């Protein structure tokens, strides 16, 4: 099993860089995108093992991205991170099939645990 590729989508440059830094320090391979549209254009879309995405982004939100990915037939697990959490958003994110929902600021190990769970599920369940 090769090292999984993690895609981070966040319109905030410093959160993006910090999340990438955290992942890399734990040995993951990471690619980052400033918007959902950029991510959808990525040539390595199919190789992604897990998507960590912000919820509130201009034009295309994290939920829109998840819906688009599912419509395209990608079953890749999604973890949402948001600095604007409330129960309604959390519920709709989990209903839409996200595996994790983290409110910024979150502890690094919380994200790592969530990510490991996502990767485990991806490995067990495979692509739908």
Helix (H) or strand (E) run with residue 29 in it: strand 29-33
Answer for which of 24, 41, 44, 123 binds other proteins (CB under 8 A) is 24
Is there binding between residue 43 and other proteins (CB under 8 A)? no
3-state helix, strand, coil in the chain (%, to 5): 45, 20, 35
- Pattern of binders to other proteins over 44-83, x per CB under 8 A? ------------xxxx-x-------------------x-x
Beta bridge partner(s), residue 54: 81
Give Cβ neighbours of residue 54 (< 8 Å, ≥ 6 apart): 9, 10, 11, 12, 15, 62, 80, 81, 82
Is there binding between residue 26 and other proteins (CB under 8 A)? yes
Is there binding between residue 97 and other proteins (CB under 8 A)? no
Is there binding between residue 104 and other proteins (CB under 8 A)? yes
Q: Distance between CA 56 and CA 121 in Å, rounded?
A: 26
Binding residues for other proteins, rule: CB under 8 A, are 11-12, 14-15, 17-19, 21-22, 24-26, 56-59, 61, 81, 83-84, 86-88, 91, 103-109, 111
């Amino acid at each position: 099993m090769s090292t999984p590729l993690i895609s981070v989508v966040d319109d905030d440059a410093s959160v993006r860089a910090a999340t990438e830094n955290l992942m890399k320090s734990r040995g993951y391979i990471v690619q980052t995108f400033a918007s959902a549209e950029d991510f959808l254009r990525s040539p390595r879309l199919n190789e992604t093992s897990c998507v960590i995405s912000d919820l509130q982004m201009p034009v295309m939100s994290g939920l829109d991205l998840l819906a688009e990915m599912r419509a395209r037939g990608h079953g890749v697990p999604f973890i949402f991170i948001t600095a604007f959490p409330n129960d309604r958003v959390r519920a709709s994110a989990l209903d839409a099939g996200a595996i994790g929902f983290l409110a910024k600021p979150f502890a690094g190990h919380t994200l790592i645990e969530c990510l490991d769970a996502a990767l485990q599920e991806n490995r067990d369940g495979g692509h739908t």
